[in-house]
Amino acid sequence: GCMMNGKLYPFGHIERTEDCHKCYCDKDGMGCCSLYFSPGQFDREKCKAVFNRKRCDYDVVQKDDPSKMCSQFARV
């Protein structure tokens, strides 16, 4: 298998790691890509990006009331 962040993964396709990556493990090592996009353009004075591990995505919320979402214009 392959070791990543202290966890052993089996050979083959890994649909989702604990760190929100999709990977492939073989005898030569492990290759991964992220399952999420980072928020790009939003009002950084009024809003903040918070990573949601359960959904493997960012929520962009108001700084003064995190229960309210903010508008986003792009993801990268």
Per-residue pLDDT reduced to its tens digit, 19-32: 899 999 999 999 99
- Check whether residue 6 and residue 30 sit in a common domain: yes
pLDDT of residue 71: 79
- Check whether residue 46 and residue 25 sit in a common domain: no
pLDDT of residue 73: 63
The tally of domains found in the chain comes to 2
Per-residue pLDDT reduced to its tens digit, 46-63: 999 999 989 999 999 999
Q: For 23-75, give the DSSP string.
A: EEEETTEEEEEES---B-SS-TTTEEEEEETTTTEEEEEESS-TTSB-----B
In a domain, 73, yes or no: no
The average confidence (pLDDT) of the chain is 90
Backbone angles phi, psi at 23, to 5 degrees: -135, 165
In a domain, 11, yes or no: yes
- Residue range of the domain that includes 48: 39-68
- Check whether residue 24 and residue 47 sit in a common domain: no
